[in-house]
Structures are given as C-alpha cells and as structure tokens.
C-alpha cells in the first residue's frame, strides 16, 4: 500500500501538483531496554508500559500492587526504533522534517545513525530537520528515551543554589521525586488519587513531512465583538507559516486568504514570506446580515461552530498550503467589580454578556497510559458531565493539556473549560533553559487549544500561589528563601507565561493561579497574603474534620473551584484490580490504594457521623456495605456543599456571598482506587454523580436549617423569569408513604437567581405538621409549574442522622416490569430499558446496581417514598431484559448488615 501512495505522490510532485507530503511513522516499532534483555514490538502512539503488557512481559500495571512492582520500568531507559521506506521523489522536497507531535519525554533521536535532535518536554511538538540524513529506500529511526525519574533527579541535583520543593511526594503516594524538574505530566510521578507511572514512549503522532515552499503550521482564531452596526464580529486569524529555507533567498510573495466556509465572507492579505517562521494576522469583519449564530454553554443556547479555511496562493505556484480550523463566536468576560454591601470584588464569568453560574467539576487524565483512552470513552465522560447538568470543567494543572478530542467534544456539548497550565502543587526552577522550554510550550498550547470556544479561561497553575503564600513547603524558613521563591514565582507565571498568553490571545482572561484573589492578587504583586480570601477570586476548600452536613462550615466564596470528599469506587470496579483476599476493609490492598494520608479514616469518620456502621454479615458483605456507605456519605457531603454555593449566588451575608461557581473535585478517575471522583475508572457513576444531576439542575430547591429557622431557597439558572410558580414543602414520617403536611407558596422566580421562598420556625413546622419528633420526620421540597407539574428535582432535608431515625423499617424493594424501549437513542444508549421499582416501606438511598452490565440509571441513590416508581436503564452495550434481570440488584440504607438486626 505504501508503495502505491508514493507512486501517486511522485506523479503529483512531477506534475507540480503537490507541494507537501508525508510519511506516517505511527504503527509498529521495536522497543528495547538499555540493558538489552527485553526486546519487544511496541505501538506508536503508545508507551512502554502498555507495550510490555501487550507483549506479555508484565501483567496489568493497575492490578493490585503492580504500580510498585513495576517501578523498574520507568527507571530504565527505553529505545523505540523502526525502519521505513522513503521514495526517491520525496528527497526532492526543499524541506524534510521529522514531525513529533508528542515525545514522552526526554529523548535523543537518530535517523540512519545520525543525531537529529533532542526533546525534554512532553507538552511540545518537535520538528527536526532530516534533509541531510534521509536517503532513498530503507531508512532507520531510533528514539532513545532517558528515564524521566533519573532526569528529574539529576536536574534537581544540579540545581545547587537552593532546593526547589517539594522534593518527594508523601510516602503514602508511593511516588517518584522532583516532577517539577521535568516538563511532563506532573501526576505521572504519583498524586493523592493516582499511581506513579512515569511512562516513556512516543505518545502522539510521528511522521515525516516534506514540502517545497511553505506550510501553514497553525492557525489561531479568536473572536471579539464588532461595532454592533455594520460589523457584528471581528475574527482575528493568526496564521503561523513555516517557510522553506529556499524562500529565505528568494522571498515568496502571495495572497493569504481566509474564507468562512458556507458564507461569501473572506479576507485577503498580500504577504511576502522570507523568514523561516512567519506569522500573519488577518482580521475578518462579519456583518450582522450574514446571520452567524453564537456559541453558548449548554443550557443557554446552541453551540454554533464554523469552519474557516486559510490558504496561501502564490502567482507561480497556484494555491499552496491550506488549513481548515473550527471555531465559534462568543465573548468571555471575567467580571471583577465592587459589590454593594461587601468588601472585595466579584468573580464571575459573562458569556455573550450573560452572567453564568459555573457548575461542574475538575478533570484529571483519564488513564495513566494515554493510549488506552479511546475517543468513545472521552465522549462518554464529557457526556456524563453534561448529563449531570454540568456546564464547566476545569482541566487541572497536574495532568496534561488534553487531547484535541476533549476540546472538540466540549465545543460540541457546550462545556466551558477552565484551562490550567501544567504546573501543580510545587515551586518550579526558573533557569533560562527551563523558562525557554516553558515559553515554547505555552505558545504551542495556546495556539492549539485557543481555537476552541469552550475554553473560557487560562490559569497559570494549580495552587502554587497558595503554597507559597501559606508556606506549604517551608519556603519562608528565611526571608531570603521567601523572596527568592516569590521572585521565581513572579518570573515564571507573570513575566513569562502571562505575556506569552496575552500576546497571542486577548479573548479570554488569564488568571495567575487557582485559587487566587484575581485582581487583588495582582494588587498584592502576584502573591496575595491569603489567596483563599472569600471576598476575592476563587477558593479551594477541603475539610474532612468537621461535619459536612453542617453548611455553616463552608466558605461563602465568590467561586468554589475545588472542594470534595473521597469515596470508594464500586466493588465491580475494584474487583478488576484485586483478588478475593483483598476484599476486606483493612486489607493490604485497601491501604495500598489509598494515596491520601488518613483518607480511609476520614471517609470512615464522615460515615460514622450520620450512618450506622456495618457490623454484621461476613467480611465481604461488610466491605461492600462500607463501599456503599462511603458513596452515600460523599454524595451527601458534596450535595450539601454544592447546594450552599448555588443558593449563595444572589446574596451577601456578613460581607460574603455572590457565589458564581461550584466545581467540585473531581469528575473522573485515573485508576481504580478511593478518590474524590464522581465517575469511576471505566465509567460507572458513583452515587455522587446521580446527585450532581439534581444539585446542578437548572431549577432546584434547597432546604436547610439556619438556627431556629427552616428555609427553602429556589435557585434558577434560567435566563427568563418564571411567573407564578409554586414551591412546595412537605413533611413526611419515615414510616408512611403519605406526607403529613404540605405548605405551598406562589412566587415569581427570578431569572439567574437564588431566592428564599420559605422561612419558618422549624419546631413550629414540625409541631403544626403533626410530627411527633425530629427523629421520625423529614422534609421535601420542589418547584412546581401550574401547582402540580414538577419543575426540577425533588429535594429532601433530613432532620437527624440515620443512627437515630425512628420509624424506618427494612424495605423489600423489587424490580418489576422490565421492558425494552423502542427508542434506545435516549441518553445515547445501546439499549434503553424501562423498569418499575416497588417498595414495601419508605427507603433512603435506594441503590440499583446493574452488575456487570455497563450503563446508568435515570436516577439512583434516591429517597423512595412512594410505593412504585418508574426508572430507565441506559445500557452502553446492547442488553436483553433477561440479561438485565439476571444482573440487577437493589439495596437501601436499611440493608446494611448490622449485628442487632
């Protein structure tokens, strides 16, 4: 096949029709360690761990303790090599480049035994000149990787003036040291939710590119508003052109053209290309009458996307290189202004002039081995975010600048992306080499990612301002040290990264760190004395010591960009990474997988605060019961905290409030372990994810107690005011399917607002409703249209912890009447099943489990206070009713096995 391709290419070149061609080097390569005792075939793009696994040299690196067993892999140096054919005609191109879209990380590259270049940054694209080394016929390439761990260690050792902390991660993480000395995915040296697999390999595409005159390497499109009369939008098209060395003697003159596909709109500029790297900006005016639509976040409108085609036309050569880029029309504004009644500044985003409450979570790499992440899985995860009513994800700074498909799908689904640069939880060196390296990384990534309307902010790093300001790593042990680190911090994020970003992209805000105080951080010369100040910017908040049902402990911040609690993933997910002897709470495996100091005890503490502990059954049953309870506790904690943030959007209390963002930590997982995620490794939804769908619903209610008062807030993210809706508060007992009492209020629900609609004395309500004691009852609330039709989910407020609930009995819950729905496309399922659930008694935290079937329910983890409900199951692969019935189980809180019943 390759032969045919080259013949064709050759003909095209002779005919003068082709100015550019390539040889794809992806596929099978030889992989060898430096000791020479392992020689296998490997895959590109890929990495050494998955190659060793595929060759049968190692087992699944995620199995049991293999992360530690297989540490040797990352400590060796691996060489990837292969041969490839070059047709003679290819050598005629003026330029021949080796185009490496991603090398992980430190490598020296040889072609036909000759050195062609080196790499030391996995986030950079590298291009190496092959003009003098390629030959016609058989050629050979070798990419010699150096262990990232050794490299980081050596770089750290050669930084002799002062130590750049932290040196090694806490022992509980079983990690590697000094990731801050290498431009590689920081969490690949371990994190508090993930393993250390400091992979090596060619992780993105690799090819050879030949061209004669020039190529359009990149295009960055940003949009801004026009004058609103003759010009509705201005499109800035930044074109980056690589120019062949021949043209530096005889400059190439031609027309650079940008054409909005599907419209008669284009812009031309006559340019002369002579420098090896040229960049040209074209500005296209879009008039209101051509009718382009805006890109909106999900829930606010459509996600209109357009293609823009850029080409360079030369008089002699005709149309030369072209590139087509997708983009969207939308504006972003980060509003930081005075708020009446509050010191400090607001911190919220306006998209297309509309203030938007950002609801969502934080995204981490979906696998330690990037080649295992399929586009289907990426789409599934992002769709899961949308299905849980999220509109924002923060691509966290300790992972990777994500693959293109993450941003493409986010554009399509309307998910706003807060994009960190890849620096996290550390100080960084700032020598010239490091800064030069970072500078190129930032340029390339801003140009690659910046076309996506989904991306609404750039942020310098994760928590490094906070680490410095609050002395996480002993950086202020002396004032000399403190000022050194402070100066280094400013140099990296403010003097290098910020101007690099802003010179390319003025269309989105640059925030120096997350969390930060935004403008106040700037006022305080880039390191605020308290980056967690609730009056400014964003806040990360973690507290495992106090009761998470107590909303008074949460910060009434302007924007909560991280907060969370851990839980265990389901037994199904854990089972894949463990064996029978591991399935007890205190097993070596259970302790090994916990990477967060005291994490297991903290989960247990939150469970114990509100739930009876599993004390009965065998050890496997107890293990499963605890997994379930850890998920219940996590769901309740993050529900309480998220509801607090949502109801704080329209008020200022004691100077704080006006909260406009709630992004919990964390959406997804990198492996099977106890973490803060709401979606497990592999894609199962934890109870939290089902809860998120409700606490992030566009219209919802929150019930809470404020001292003696019971308050109900209605929260609406709708852009239109809803007149005459009702809010219903109901009081129930744990022993009956009938509410004791209903209270309704009718009100006009403001657009984009949270408002208090009920404020009554709790004891009075309980008494007037006929409830004998707090232990026996609970409240529910909802917003209804036309008095009866539900507008958003029903919420519940428990008046006690479940150890003291009275009247709850063990419910028998059964799944009946399972049918296949003809239209499976709902929720993009392969099969959609409808099922009925029947219960003999009210049951809290009803959890359906579809066993080994992949998919999710329309709701789960809910309070069942009617005898029957109808649910749906969305299967990811086709299933039959019989298969489902065989697998499905259901339990609720009262099924926890305890000795006394």
Strand partners, 307: 326
Pick the closer one to ligand BMA by CB: 546 or 809: 546
Pick the closer one to ligand BMA by CB: 645 or 857: 645
Around Cβ 125, how many Cβ atoms within 10 Å? 20
CB 330 within 8 A of CB 292: no
d(CA 757, CA 728) in angstroms, rounded, equals 10
Beta strands in 130-232 (DSSP E): 137-146, 189-191, 194-196, 201-202, 206-211, 214-225
Sign of CA dihedral 491, 492, 496, 501: negative
Q: What's the gap between Cα 827 and its chain centre?
A: 21
Nearest 5 degrees, angle CA 118-CA 122-CA 125?
Answer: 70
Nearest to 681 by CA among 56, 63, 173, 51: 63
State the minimum distance, in angstroms, from the CB of residue 768 to ligand BMA: 44
Nearest to 533 by CA among 714, 735, 672, 342: 342
State the minimum distance, in angstroms, from the CB of residue 542 to ligand BMA: 6
d(CA 423, CA 504) in angstroms, rounded, equals 20
Pick the closer one to ligand BMA by CB: 111 or 424: 424
Nearest to 790 by CA among 719, 696, 699: 699
**Which string of DSSP letters, residue by residue, matches 716-781?**
E--SS-EEEEEEEEEEEETT-SS-SEEEEEEEEE-TTEEEEEEEEEHHHHHHHTT-S-GGGEEEEE
Around Cβ 199, how many Cβ atoms within 10 Å? 26
Distances 356 to 715, 793, 877 between C-alpha atoms, Å = 13, 21, 36
d(CA 877, CA 837) in angstroms, rounded, equals 23
d(CA 175, CA 67) in angstroms, rounded, equals 10
Pick the closer one to ligand BMA by CB: 594 or 752: 594
Pick the closer one to ligand BMA by CB: 380 or 665: 665
State the minimum distance, in angstroms, from the CB of residue 475 to ligand BMA: 17
State the minimum distance, in angstroms, from the CB of residue 742 to ligand BMA: 42
Pick the closer one to ligand BMA by CB: 239 or 424: 424
Distances 269 to 109, 239, 258, 708 between C-alpha atoms, Å = 39, 11, 9, 70
State the minimum distance, in angstroms, from the CB of residue 187 to ligand BMA: 8
Pick the closer one to ligand BMA by CB: 21 or 192: 192
State the minimum distance, in angstroms, from the CB of residue 594 to ligand BMA: 12
State the minimum distance, in angstroms, from the CB of residue 410 to ligand BMA: 20
State the minimum distance, in angstroms, from the CB of residue 676 to ligand BMA: 6
State the minimum distance, in angstroms, from the CB of residue 530 to ligand BMA: 16
Which residues lie below 8 Å from residue 95, measured CB to CB, with a gap of 6+? 129, 131, 209, 210, 211, 212, 242, 244, 245
Distances 195 to 66, 365, 672 between C-alpha atoms, Å = 10, 12, 10
Which residues lie below 8 Å from residue 337, measured CB to CB, with a gap of 6+? 345, 346
Write the DSSP symbol of residue 180: G
State the minimum distance, in angstroms, from the CB of residue 675 to ligand BMA: 8
Nearest to 366 by CA among 399, 337, 393, 390: 399
Encoded tokens for 386: 């949308």
Residue ranges binding ligand BMA (CB under 6 A): 191-193, 398, 425, 462-463, 540, 562, 665, 676
State the minimum distance, in angstroms, from the CB of residue 673 to ligand BMA: 12
- Long-range CB contacts (within 8 A, 24+) of 48-54: 48/73, 48/78, 48/145, 48/199, 48/200, 48/201, 49/73, 49/197, 49/199, 49/368, 49/369, 50/369, 50/371, 50/372, 51/201
| Helix-helix angle 619-647:599-610, to 10 degrees | 80
State the minimum distance, in angstroms, from the CB of residue 189 to ligand BMA: 13
d(CA 621, CA 896) in angstroms, rounded, equals 9
Pick the closer one to ligand BMA by CB: 599 or 612: 599
Pick the closer one to ligand BMA by CB: 191 or 847: 191
CB 153 within 8 A of CB 75: no
Which residues lie below 8 Å from residue 131, measured CB to CB, with a gap of 6+? 95, 96
Pick the closer one to ligand BMA by CB: 364 or 699: 364
Encoded tokens for 135: 């030959």
**Which string of DSSP letters, residue by residue, matches 640-702?**
HHHHHHHHTTT-EETTEE---EEEES-S--SSSSSBS-SB-TTSPBPHHHHHHHHHT-SEEEE
Nearest to 451 by CA among 310, 588, 546, 580: 310
Pick the closer one to ligand BMA by CB: 87 or 674: 674
CB 679 within 8 A of CB 689: yes
Pick the closer one to ligand BMA by CB: 532 or 583: 532
Instruction: Classify strands 455-459 and 510-511 as parallel, antiparallel or unpaired.
Output: parallel
State the minimum distance, in angstroms, from the CB of residue 472 to ligand BMA: 10
Catalytic positions, written as ranges: 463, 562
């Amino acid at each position: 096949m390759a032969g045919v391709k080259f013949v064709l290419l050759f003909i095209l070149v002779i005919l003068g029709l082709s100015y550019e061609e390539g040889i794809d080097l992806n596929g099978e390569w030889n992989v060898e360690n430096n000791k020479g005792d392992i020689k296998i075939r490997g895959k590109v793009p890929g990495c050494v761990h998955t190659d060793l696994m595929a060759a049968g040299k190692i087992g699944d690196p995620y199995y049991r303790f293999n992360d530690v067993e297989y540490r040797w892999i990352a400590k060796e140096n691996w060489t990837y090599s292969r041969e490839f054919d070059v047709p003679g005609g290819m050598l005629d191109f003026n330029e021949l480049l080796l185009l490496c879209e991603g090398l992980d990380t430190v490598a020296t590259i040889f072609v036909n035994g000759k050195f062609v270049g080196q790499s030391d940054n996995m986030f950079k694209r590298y291009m190496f000149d092959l003009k003098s080394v390629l030959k016609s016929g058989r050629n050979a390439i070798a990419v010699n990787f150096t262990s990232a761990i050794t490299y980081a260690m050596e770089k750290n050792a050669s930084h002799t003036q002062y130590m750049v902390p932290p040196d090694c991660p806490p022992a509980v993480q079983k990690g590697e040291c000094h990731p801050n000395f290498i431009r590689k995915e920081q969490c690949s040296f371990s994190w508090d939710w993930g393993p250390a697999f400091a992979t090596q390999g060619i992780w993105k595409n690799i090819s050879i590119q030949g061209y004669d005159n020039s190529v359009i390497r990149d295009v960055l499109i940003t949009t801004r508003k026009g004058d609103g009369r003759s010009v509705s939008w201005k499109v800035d098209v930044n074109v980056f052109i690589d120019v062949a060395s021949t043209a530096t003697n005889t400059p190439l003159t031609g027309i650079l053209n940008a054409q909005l596909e599907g419209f008669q709109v284009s812009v031309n500029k006559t340019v002369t290309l002579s420098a090896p790297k040229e960049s040209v900006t074209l500005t296209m005016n879009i008039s209101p009458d051509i009718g382009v639509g805006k890109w909106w976040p999900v829930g606010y409108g459509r996600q209109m996307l357009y293609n823009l085609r850029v080409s360079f036309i030369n008089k002699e050569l005709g149309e030369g290189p072209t590139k087509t880029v997708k983009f969207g029309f939308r504006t972003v504004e980060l509003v930081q202004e005075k708020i009446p009644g509050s010191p400090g500044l607001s911190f919220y985003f306006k998209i297309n002039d509309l203030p938007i409450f950002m609801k969502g979570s934080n995204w981490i790499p979906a696998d330690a081995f990037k080649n295992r992440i399929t586009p289907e899985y990426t789409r599934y995860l992002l769709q899961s975010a949308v299905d849980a009513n999220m509109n924002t994800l923060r691509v966290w700074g300790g992972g990777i600048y994500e693959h293109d498909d993450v941003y493409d799908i986010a554009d399509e689904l309307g998910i706003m992306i807060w994009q960190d640069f890849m620096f996290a939880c550390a100080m960084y060196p700032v020598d010239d080499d490091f800064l030069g390296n970072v500078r190129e990384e930032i340029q390339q990534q801003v140009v690659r990612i910046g076309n996506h309307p989904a991306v609404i902010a750039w942020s310098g790093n994760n928590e490094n301002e906070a680490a410095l300001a609050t002395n996480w790593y002993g950086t202020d042990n002396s004032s000399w040290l403190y000022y050194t680190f402070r100066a280094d911090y400013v140099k990296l994020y403010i003097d290098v990264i910020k101007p690099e970003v802003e010179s390319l992209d003025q269309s989105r805000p640059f925030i120096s760190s997350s969390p930060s105080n935004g403008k106040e951080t700037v006022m305080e010369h880039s390191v605020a004395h308290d980056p967690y100040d609730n009056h400014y910017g964003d806040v990360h908040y973690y507290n495992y010591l106090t009761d998470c049902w107590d909303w008074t402990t949460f910060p009434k911040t302007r924007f909560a960009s991280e907060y969370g609690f851990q839980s265990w993933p389901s037994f199904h997910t854990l089972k894949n990474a463990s064996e029978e002897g591991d399935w007890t709470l205190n097993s070596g495996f259970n302790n090994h997988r916990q990477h967060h100091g005291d994490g297991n005890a903290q989960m247990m503490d939150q469970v114990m605060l509100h739930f009876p502990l599993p004390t009965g059954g065998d050890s496997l049953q107890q293990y499963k019961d605890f997994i379930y309870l850890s998920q219940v506790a996590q769901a309740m904690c993050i529900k309480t905290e998220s509801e607090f943030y949502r109801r704080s959007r329209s008020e200022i209390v004691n100077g704080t409030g006006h909260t406009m963002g709630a992004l919990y930590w964390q959406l997804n997982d990198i492996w099977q372990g106890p973490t803060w995620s709401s979606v497990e490794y592999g894609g199962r939804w934890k109870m939290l994810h089902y809860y998120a769908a409700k606490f992030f619903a566009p219209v919802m209610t929150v019930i809470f107690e404020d001292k003696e008062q019971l308050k109900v807030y209605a929260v609406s993210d709708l852009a239109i005011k809803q007149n005459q809706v009702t809010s219903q508060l109901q009081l129930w007992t744990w022993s009956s399917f009938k509410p004791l009492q209903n209270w309704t209020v009718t009100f006009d629900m403001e657009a984009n607002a949270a408002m208090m609609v009920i404020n009554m004395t709790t004891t009075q309500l309980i008494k007037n409703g006929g409830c004998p004691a707090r232990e026996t009852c609970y409240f529910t609330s909802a917003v209804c249209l036309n008095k009866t039709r539900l507008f958003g989910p029903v919420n519940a407020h428990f008046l006690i912890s479940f150890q003291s609930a009275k009247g709850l009995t063990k419910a028998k819950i059964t799944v009946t009447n399972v049918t296949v729905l003809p239209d499976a496309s709902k929720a993009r399922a392969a099969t959609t099943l409808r099922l009925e659930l029947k219960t003999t008694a009210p049951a809290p935290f009803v959890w359906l489990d579809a066993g080994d079937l992949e998919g999710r329910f329309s709701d789960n983890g809910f309070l069942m206070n009617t005898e029957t409900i109808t649910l749906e199951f969305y299967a990811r692969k086709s299933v039959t009713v019989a298969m489902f019935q065989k697998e499905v189980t259901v339990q609720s809180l009262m099924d926890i096995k305890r000795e006394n019943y």
